[in-house]
Every structure is written in structure tokens, then in C-alpha cells.
């Protein structure tokens, strides 16, 4: 199975971070980029995005599937059915400390109507950590950015010493341990 044939890592990472939050007594929130495929109360959407509390206490019948996040929740005391395509999730994090993970914005935000990259894509996409050929081979939905709290930013590097650039090898991806 090639990288293009495999399923997205996004739903698995969402489930893992949800479990991490609940195991540590934290409140998992998901930030969602809203379009016509997202079923949420539109009156709570701000600047095309909505942040949803997906904790056990705030939801019922929560299902974190590979294609959709589905649950029932109350908004202003009124019960609503929520349906979010996993590809529209742009972050999952703990409310209490902000730790979690951000994902690249959905593909429709990365290109303008003419098909050229927009200014948003340059500002919002993570710095390249691989060669351009390797990055082009990885679909945008499978690249991940880790959120780091301000207090954790320089904890283990001993100051402002620059980090060495990533090794420029072949097209084979590698993992980087982040403490």
C-alpha cells in the first residue's frame, strides 16, 4: 500500500488526542472550518469557524469516526445534532492548557478561485520540514502541526539557540520526537 492509498491520519490523531484529554481530566475542543458540508448551528459560527466542546459532559452519542464526528449537544439550551466531516477539523486541543494539534486548513482554503496558492496558504501552512518532492507527495490533509503552549516553548532547549535544520535525505519521511 502506498502513501496515497492509505487512509488519512487525521481521524486517528483526533481520537488519540480526545482520549489523552479525557484521561487527563481536560476538556477536548475541536476547531472546525465551516462550509455547507458542516452541520452546526450557524448562529455560533464566527469568521467561518466554530469551536466545539466534545467532552463527555457536553455531548451525547459522540462518534469519532474516520469520515465524520457526530454528536448531539445543547446550544443555548436547545438540543442540536452536529455533523462535522473530519477533513474540516483544523485543530483539537485541551481547553485548560491549549495543548493539542492543529491541522492544515482544508484544501479549498489553500487555493484561490483561479487555482493559484493564496496568501493564506503561505501564512497558515507549516514551514517545510522535507524536500519539496517529499512534501508534494504527502496530501495536505496528512501534514500535521503540533500546538505548543507558551510556557512550553523553550523549556528543553536551554534558551534561544537555533535548532539545526532537518536532514535533507531522500523522499522517505522521518519522525521527530518533540518533548
The domain segmentation of the chain, as residue ranges, is 10-103
Q: 149 and 97 in contact (C-beta within 8 Å)?
A: yes
Report DSSP letters for 72-98, one per residue: EEEETTEEEEEEEEGGGEEEEEETTT-
CATH number of 10-103: 2.30.30.220
pLDDT for 122? 34
Q: Residue 165: pLDDT above 90?
A: no
Beta-carbon contacts of residue 164 (< 8 Å; ≥ 6 apart): none
Q: Residue 61 has which C-alpha cell?
A: 452519542
Tally of CA atoms within 13 A in the half-sphere of 57 that contains its CB: 7
Q: How far apart are CA 96 and CA 72, in angstroms?
A: 23
Q: What are phi and psi of 126, to 5 degrees?
A: -70, 160
pLDDT for 166? 53
Is pTM beyond 0.85 here? Answer: no
Q: 69 and 89 in contact (C-beta within 8 Å)?
A: yes
Map grid coordinates 524536500 to a residue: 131
Q: Residue 164: pLDDT above 50?
A: yes
pLDDT digits (tens, 9 = 90+) for 96-152: 999 999 999 887 654 444 444 443 333 333 333 333 333 344 444 455 555 555 554
pLDDT for 179? 62
Please name the helix (run of DSSP H) or strand (run of DSSP E) that holds residue 123, with its range, or none: helix 119-124
Average pLDDT of the residues of the chain? 75
Amino acid at each position: 500500500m502506498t502513501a496515497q492509498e492509505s487512509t488519512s491520519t487525521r481521524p486517528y490523531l483526533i481520537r488519540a488526542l480526545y482520549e489523552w484529554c479525557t484521561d487527563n481530566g481536560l476538556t477536548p475542543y475541536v476547531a472546525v472550518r465551516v462550509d455547507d458540508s458542516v452541520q452546526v448551528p450557524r448562529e455560533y459560527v464566527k469568521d467561518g469557524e466554530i469551536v466545539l466542546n466534545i467532552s463527555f459532559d457536553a455531548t451525547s452519542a459522540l462518534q469519532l469516526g474516520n469520515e465524520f464526528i457526530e454528536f448531539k449537544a445543547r446550544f443555548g439550551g436547545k438540543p442540536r445534532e452536529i455533523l462535522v466531516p473530519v477533513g474540516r477539523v483544523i485543530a483539537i486541543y485541551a481547553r485548560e492548557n491549549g495543548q493539542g494539534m492543529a491541522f492544515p486548513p482544508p484544501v479549498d482554503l489553500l487555493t484561490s478561485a483561479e487555482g493559484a496558492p493564496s496568501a493564506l496558504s503561505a501564512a497558515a501552512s507549516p514551514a517545510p520540514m522535507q524536500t519539496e518532492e517529499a512534501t508534494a507527495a504527502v496530501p495536505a490533509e496528512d501534514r500535521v502541526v503540533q500546538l505548543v503552549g507558551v510556557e512550553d516553548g523553550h523549556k528543553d532547549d536551554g534558551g534561544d539557540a537555533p535548532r539545526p535544520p532537518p536532514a535533507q535525505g531522500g523522499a522517505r519521511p522521518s519522525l521527530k520526537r518533540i518533548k
